[in-house]
Chains A and B, each alone.
Chain A
C-alpha cells in the first residue's frame, strides 16, 4: 500500500490498513468497560454492605465480624494493595488455568475447556480481574457514601417502625447515591482506561490494535496517538453521561 501522509509525518495508511482491528478493538473496549462497570458496581455494593455489617447481639454480632467484615476488609485490602496489571497476569496465567484447563481443570476440563479458553480465555480473565479490582474500589465508595449519611436519619427511620432493609432502601441509599455519583463516575473512567492493560494477555481491544501496528511497522506516533484520541473521546462521553446523571439525581437537593 502507498504511504499516505497527513501533515507531512502522520502515516495514516498504516492505521487504515489495520482499521478492522481498531474498530473491533473499540467494540471490545466498550463491551469490557460496560460489563465491568455493571458487575463491579454490584460487587462493590455487596462488599460495601459487608464491610458495614453489624448486629447487636451474639452470635450474629460475631458472625458479622468474622464472616462478613473481616473477609470483605481483607478482600478490599488485597485488590487495592496490588497492581491491577499483576492481578491480570495472575488471573490469566495462574488462576484461570487452574479452573479451566483441557488437561485437568478443577471446574471445566476437556474439549469444553479448550473451546472456552481459545475463544473467550483472555476476555474472561480480563473481565474477571477488572471486575474484582473495580469491586474493591467501588465498595469504598459505597461504604463512605452510606457512612456519610447522618446517623440520625437512620435512627429516625427505625424509630418510625421501618425495617432495616426499608430504611436502607427508602431513606439512606437514595441520599447516599447522590453523593456517590461523582466518585463512581471517576471509577468508571478509570476502569475504561485500565481496560487497556488486558491487551497484555492477548485480548484484541484498542491497545492491542495499536500494539500490533507498532510491532509491524516500528512506528509509534500513529497507533498510540490514534488510540489516545479514541480513549479521550470515550472518557469525554462517559463524563458527559455522568454529568447528566448527577444533574438528574441532584435535583432533589436543589429544590
Chain B
C-alpha cells in the first residue's frame, strides 16, 4: 500500500474512532462530596445529595451519560481546566469573576450566605464581625465577601478546606463566626446545639449553576435544555422538596 493511502486509511480510522467516542462518551462530572446536603458520600462510598439528584435528572432529560467523580473543592476548577472533568456541579455560585473563566447553566438553586455564631453571640450582621475571627472556605463566596469587607490579607480571616471544618472550628472556639452557603451552614449548625445562624439581609441573593469549560456551548446547551425540562415537568420541584423540605423558589431563567 502506498504511503499516502496508508495515511488516509489511518486518518479515517482515527476519525471513525473519535466519532464513536463522541457518541457514547461518558461525561465526567466533578463534585466535591464534603458538602452535605448538596453532595456527600454515604458510608458505602456512594455520592448522593441535592446536586447529584439534579445532575442525574438533567442528564436523563438531555440524554447524556454521566459518571460522578468526587473532586476536592480546591482543585475542582483546575480539574475542569485540564479536562479531568467535563462539568462541575458542586454548589458553585454564579458570579462575574467566575463567568470570565467558565460558562454556567441557568440557576438550579438560590443561595444566600449565612453566618453561624455561638448562641450567646450578639452578632447581627457582617459589620458586627469586624475585629472578630471569621472562618470561611478558601476561595468560596464567603471568602470573597470577608476579604472585601475586612481586607484580603487580614489575619482574622481563617481559611479552611470545607464547610464542616469551619463549623468544627467554630464549635471548638477557634473562631467567633463562620460564613458559608445557607444550605450547608443551616444543616451543619443544627448538629451543634450551642450554635445559631444569623442572616444578613444585605447579603445578595445568589444562584448555583452547573459549570462547563468556557466555550463548550454544545454541552452547555444540552444541560440547559435538560434543566429546563426538569423544571417544567416537576422533577426539579420534587428533588428540591426531598432535600430542603420546602417548596422550590422560582428561579430566574438565566
Chain A interface residues (CB < 8 Å from chain B): 17-18, 20-21, 24, 93, 96-97, 101-103, 113-114, 117-118, 121-122, 200-202, 204, 208, 211-212, 214-216, 218, 220
Judge whether B158 is part of the interface by a CB distance below 8 angstroms. Answer: yes
Enumerate chain A residues within 8 angstroms of B147, measured Cβ to Cβ: 216
Q: Which of A18, A103, A117, A118 contacts B194 (CB 8 A)?
A: A103
The 9 closest A-B CB pairs, nearest first, are A215-B139, A215-B138, A102-B173, A20-B153, A97-B172, A218-B77, A202-B158, A21-B153, A121-B174
Task: Classify chain B's interface size.
Answer: 20 to 34
Enumerate chain A residues within 8 angstroms of B152, measured Cβ to Cβ: 17-18, 21, 212, 216
Enumerate chain B residues within 8 angstroms of A103, measured Cβ to Cβ: 173, 194
Q: Is the Cβ of B175 less than 8 Å from the Cβ of A118? A: yes
Enumerate chain A residues within 8 angstroms of B143, measured Cβ to Cβ: 212, 215-216
Main secondary structure of the interface of A (DSSP, over half): helix
Shortest CB distance A191–B (Å): 22
Q: Is the Cβ of A218 less than 8 Å from the Cβ of B172? A: no
Q: Is the Cβ of B174 less than 8 Å from the Cβ of A118? A: yes
Chain A CB within 10 A, most for which of B147, B168, B169:
B169
Judge whether B31 is part of the interface by a CB distance below 8 angstroms. Answer: no
Shortest CB distance B55–A (Å): 21
With A93-B168, A218-B101 in contact, is A211–B138 under 8 Å at CB? yes
Shortest CB distance B87–A (Å): 16
Enumerate chain A residues within 8 angstroms of B247, measured Cβ to Cβ: none
The closest CB in chain A to the CB of B102 belongs to: A218
Enumerate chain A residues within 8 angstroms of B176, measured Cβ to Cβ: 118
Shortest CB distance A233–B (Å): 22
Enumerate chain B residues within 8 angstroms of A21, measured Cβ to Cβ: 152-153
Known contacts A103-B173, A118-B133, A202-B160; 14 further A-B pairs (Cβ under 8 A): A113-B173, A114-B173, A118-B173, A118-B176, A200-B160, A201-B160, A202-B159, A211-B159, A215-B140, A215-B143, A216-B147, A218-B77, A218-B78, A218-B101
Q: Is the Cβ of A214 less than 8 Å from the Cβ of B74? A: yes
Q: Is the Cβ of A218 less than 8 Å from the Cβ of B139? A: yes
